[in-house]
A and B are shown apart, each in its own frame.
Chain A
């Protein structure tokens, strides 16, 4: 670079280039464990998620009406008699096992197991690869529960008999 030919960089005259580190030190690469302020980083995201969830529910409310059947009648039992969908897994279990097992022992064990989980699983690892037993047990439970819920909700018809939901629909929300 000659003295007679000064270059301009962002409006400043460039006098020379010095090799080496920048005077302010290396630019820090942000790490995942670094702290960032909640405002604005997290709050903006929460606001977007909140508005999105709300919009989703409002659109559902415009598109689909909540069901309202005939007035309650204690003398006319519908067939099938269905509990709300989140109890469909329990109802499905009740059709296979003694009520003491399906209605008391299983739900009791699930609740106690969930509460006790962090006190039973003392493995400090967070990555799934290092906690295979916990992940396999929990995933199996989750899959079985979702399947039972689906079956009880959509695949059961009159007298709790098996139906295909595309043939006849008995699910109620």
Chain B
């Protein structure tokens, strides 16, 4: 007997029979883990060429960063007197320390690339067009958050590479008129990068920015799920591959003649 056909299983999964497509849809709909997904998508979304799966890749990299980052947090104290020594300890004494640090570093670099590439792919797909404009805006914020997370994490090893990269990066803020100087001082916590900067970047990196990131990501995914079946339900929204063509699927009525201009 399968678990989901028992009394306990029924109480958890709610939909024990998975015989027809309707049963499976009902099971999907009542599953907590699957609720971030739509029940159905358009067939074209399955192809590699549609999205290059860059959104999934970014999300998986974020998960890898959270897991490896939490592991590193156990062994790291954000203070100029201890930080560098902790890095050496992580690399030499902590079990799998060097490996986990490598995974964290390469995941972070890759995530900047996949998020930026995801954005480019969405552009060429035209997938930011109405009614999806706002999800594109959230995507821009997610890209900025990715860069900020990467940049704040860059300082934490407290080696020459970290120190001077952050000195160069934060000095750019000085050029912003009126608020630039004070913005830099709030970020750095003084005239130059030091103990105050390290603790500020650490809190931003492990607490504040990840929380904001996850909040934005949830809205991003929720919006995607809501819009996943749009083409079928609202053929007038102009998102299909033939939108703008005369009589094409997804073309708003009478839009064929206006389709050529910008």
- Verify A126–B132 contact, CB threshold 8 A: no
Does B79 touch A at the CB level, under 8 Å? Answer: no
Beyond A66-B106, A68-B159, A124-B244, whether A32 also contacts B137 by CB under 8 A is no
Identify which of A43, A78, A111, A123 contacts B261 (C-beta below 8 A).
A123
Does B123 touch A at the CB level, under 8 Å? Answer: yes
Which chain B residues border A172 with CB–CB below 8 Å? 161, 165
Which chain A residue lies CB-closest to B261?
A: A123
- The segment from A3-11, A12-20, A34-42 that touches chain B is A34-42
Does A144 touch B at the CB level, under 8 Å? Answer: no
Which chain A residues border B88 with CB–CB below 8 Å? 68
Beyond A118-B136, A124-B252, A127-B241, whether A76 also contacts B160 by CB under 8 A is yes
Secondary structure at chain B's binding surface: helix, strand, loop or mixed?
A: helix
Complex Cα distance A115/B143, Å?
11
Q: How far is the CB of B104 from chain A (nearest CB, A)?
A: 8
Which chain A residues border B64 with CB–CB below 8 Å? 54, 57
Pick from A43, A62, A114 the residue with the most CB of B within 10 Å.
A114
Does A25 touch B at the CB level, under 8 Å? Answer: no
Which chain B residues border A99 with CB–CB below 8 Å? 172, 174-175
- Verify B28–A68 contact, CB threshold 8 A: no
Complex Cα distance A58/B104, Å?
10
Identify which of A38, A41, A124, A135 contacts B243 (C-beta below 8 A).
A124
Does A147 touch B at the CB level, under 8 Å? Answer: no
Identify which of A32, A72, A103 contacts B172 (C-beta below 8 A).
A103
Does B103 touch A at the CB level, under 8 Å? Answer: yes
Beyond A57-B110, A104-B176, whether A66 also contacts B165 by CB under 8 A is no
Complex Cα distance A136/B151, Å?
31
For B157-168 the 0/1 string (1 means CB < 8 A from A) is 111111111011
Complex Cα distance A77/B229, Å?
55
Complex Cα distance A131/B229, Å?
24
Does B112 touch A at the CB level, under 8 Å? Answer: yes
Does A26 touch B at the CB level, under 8 Å? Answer: no
- Verify A53–B57 contact, CB threshold 8 A: yes
Binding site for A on B (CB under 8 A): 21, 24-25, 28, 34, 37-46, 53, 56-57, 60-61, 64, 80, 84, 87-88, 91, 98-107, 109-110, 112, 119-120, 123-130, 132-133, 136-137, 140, 143-144, 147, 150-151, 154, 157-165, 167-169, 172, 174-177, 180, 192-194, 229, 231-232, 238-245, 249-252, 255, 259-262
Interface pairs A-B: 9 shortest CB-CB: A125-B244, A126-B126, A118-B133, A72-B163, A124-B238, A61-B102, A133-B262, A66-B105, A99-B175
Q: Please, could you name 10 A-B residue pairs with CB atoms under 8 Å apart, sorted by A?
A: A39-B37, A43-B34, A53-B61, A70-B159, A71-B84, A71-B159, A78-B160, A86-B147, A103-B172, A118-B130
Binding site for B on A (CB under 8 A): 30-39, 41-43, 45-46, 49-50, 53-54, 56-58, 60-62, 64-74, 76-78, 81-87, 90-91, 94, 99-100, 103-104, 111, 114-115, 117-119, 121-128, 130-135, 138, 142, 172-173
